[in-house]
Amino acid sequence: MPPAPRPAPRGDLSAAVLDALVHRPPAPLPTAPPPGTDPYGEDLQLALYVCYELHYRGLERVTDAWEWDPELLRLRAGLEALFLDALRADTPGGDDVTAALDPLLVEPVEGAGVADHLLREGHWWQMREYLVHRSVYHLKEADPHAWVIPRLDGQAKASLVAVEFDEFGGGHGERVHAALFADALSGARLHAGYLHYLDDVPAPALALVNLMSLFGLHRALRGALVGHFAAAEISTAPSARKMAKALERMGADPRCVHFFTEHIEADAVHEQIMRRDVLGDLLAREPGLAGDVVLGIQATEHLEARLATHLLHAWRDGATSLRRPLPDAPAEPAPNGSAAGAARPVAGAARPG
């Protein structure tokens, strides 16, 4: 399994991490993020993503010994604290899990979200950008959630493993959801390589993956990871249904459609399992985790809303939502007959080096 390509830095923090990983002797690492660092910003989110990737496939030309390097872990702890403090400050909190989940069980107002936009009026170039944003997670889909398995017991463990079994293809390698997403990328004439688009994806999409890694790697946040997983499973089926219809409207390759139709029925079942068997059993055993479960639910919704705002603002301005336009963005009409055009760069967007 090849490691991920090393991204370009986006500021002093990510530059320090990336420099340290490739130099012998290692370049000095800062002990903590400097005052005023934006917890949701490009620099911190990329630095965190790089640190976490050492626990997944690793990075090109970076020795595996870095995974547990104490100096890197000390810096990572400072980045995590800043990110987690911001999430706690920006979400309502509380310990009422039912109240946190209930809004997710109601279909969002029609036309309010990214899937609605793509279904109703989205262009093919916007759909392709959306797939690129999601590639930094879906090419490792369900991997962060596996870390919580040894931290659960009883029915909660058994049921979460059942959900993960489906995510990993039910024993069939070609049906692993990450493999289906790679097929979808190929169907959209995008590169299907693992984290090929890491340099192109901005902080709002990185933050969602970092949230899963943060919760998954810390036993103390096991409740938050389960809350996040439940929120994701509850909200996936309605969104996947709209995405499949949007792709059909655009005349997309069937491989693109299949990735989303695969999630419609499966995640509707997973929603029930996560709410009743995983959350129900976990909180019966450890009621003190209710506040962390709520954090996981609310933080997921908060970061999804940030990403949606970023996408829709860029697209309504006719600009790319990525850090640079896709180099192979098609200029011909979109498959549905509407003009695909080409996204114009956003002000200050990263340019190819």
> Which of helix, strand or coil describes residue 344?
strand
Question: What pLDDT does residue 331 have?
Answer: 46
Q: Is the confidence at residue 109, as pLDDT, over 70?
A: no
Q: What average pLDDT score do residues 242-260 get?
A: 97
Q: What average pLDDT score do residues 224-240 get?
A: 92
Question: What pLDDT does residue 224 have?
Answer: 98
Tell the CATH superfamily of the 97-316 domain. Heme oxygenase-like (1.20.910.10)
Q: Which residue has the higher pLDDT, 316 or 2?
A: 316
Q: What average pLDDT score do residues 79-86 get?
A: 98
Task: Band the pLDDT of 336: cuts 50, 70, 90.
Answer: very low
Amino acid at residue number 76: R
pTM here is 0.92
Q: Is the confidence at residue 2, as pLDDT, over 90?
A: no
Q: Is the confidence at residue 197, as pLDDT, over 90?
A: yes
Q: What average pLDDT score do residues 308-326 get?
A: 96
Radius of gyration of the chain (CA): 20
Question: What pLDDT does residue 111 have?
Answer: 63
Alpha-carbon distance of 66 to 75, in angstroms, equals: 13
Look at 82-86, 264-268, 277-281, 342-346 and tell me which has the smallest mean pLDDT. 342-346
Residues near 336 by beta carbon (within 8 Å), at least 6 away in sequence: 124, 249, 250, 251
Q: Is the confidence at residue 257, as pLDDT, over 80?
A: yes
Question: What pLDDT does residue 17 have?
Answer: 96
Alpha-carbon distance of 51 to 80, in angstroms, equals: 11
Q: What average pLDDT does the chain have?
A: 91
Please, what is the Cα angle at 208 between 140 and 281, to 5 degrees?
80
What is the share, in percent, of the chain residues with pLDDT greater than 70? 91
Question: Residue with structure tokens 């990110």?
Answer: 83
Provide CATH 1.20.910.10 ranges for the chain: 97-316
Question: What pLDDT does residue 174 have?
Answer: 93
Question: What pLDDT does residue 353 have?
Answer: 32
Question: What pLDDT does residue 268 have?
Answer: 73
Question: What pLDDT does residue 337 have?
Answer: 41
Question: What pLDDT does residue 110 have?
Answer: 61
Q: What average pLDDT score do residues 66-92 get?
A: 97
Question: What pLDDT does residue 338 have?
Answer: 45
Question: What pLDDT does residue 258 have?
Answer: 96
Question: What pLDDT does residue 341 have?
Answer: 53
| Cα atoms in the Cβ-side hemisphere of radius 13 Å centred on 342 | 11
Q: Is the confidence at residue 332, as pLDDT, over 60?
A: no
Amino acid at residue number 135: S
